[in-house]
Amino acid sequence: MSEKKVSLLEGFKAFLMRGNVIDLAVAVVIGAAFTNIVNAVVKGIINPLVGAFGTQDLDNYSSCLQGPCTTDPKTGEMDGIEILWGSVLSATLSFLITAAVVYFLMVLPMAKYLARRAAMQAAKEGVRETIEVSELEVLKEIRDALVAQRTGGAPGPGAGDGSGGADGTAAGPREGR
């Protein structure tokens, strides 16, 4: 029962100080600004280009579903049911342009960077593994050489360990006798 309860304000502060919340907030702000740029490109460049093939810009393309689609100039009310498919097409183009820019300028380069980084990491691991294997092989050779010296596998009794023969004399042929 002596648990320390976190106050509501402390919990909110901890939530705000998380790195991913700050990153998300920055992404939303930049995304909103980027959306304005894309909408300006669609309305300022693409809509007039599409309108060059017709008589109006893209936002003004519509079809009448029922009855004559006429607007009463006095009241501003529309007679009939009008479908504004040009606005939908304009919004679709805005989405496609935004998605293409995000993919080609952000997602694709990041994926290539991460793939390159993973390949470099794999290469480092391969080199590290090769070094570990070669070190292990050298240590095995040293062990085998030491075992061979101790068991008499090397030429001459006691060769390499500094001791003489069984009678205390130096091992090997004597010169000048």
First to last CA, the chain: 97
pLDDT value for 143: 92
Tell which wins on pLDDT, 144 or 5. Answer: 144
Cα separation values, 22 from 10, 36, 106, 115, 155, Å = 17, 22, 19, 27, 74
- Is it the case that residue 113 has pLDDT exceeding 80? yes
- Is it the case that residue 101 has pLDDT exceeding 70? yes
Report if pTM > 0.85.
no
Distance between CA atoms of residues 82 and 63, nearest Å = 6
Name the average pLDDT for the chain: 76
Distance between CA atoms of residues 151 and 123, nearest Å = 42
CB 44 within 8 A of CB 93: no
Distance between CA atoms of residues 93 and 40, nearest Å = 12
Q: Tell the residue number behind the tokens 């290469």, with chain if given.
A: 123
* Core vs surface per residue 102-127: b (16+ CB within 10 A) or e: eeeeeeeeeeeeeeeeeeeeeeeeee
Taking only the tens place, the pLDDT of each residue in 46-92 is 777 777 777 667 777 888 887 777 777 787 777 778 888 888 888 88
Please give the angle made by the CA atoms of 74, 77 and 80, to the nearest 5 degrees.
130
CB 58 within 8 A of CB 86: yes
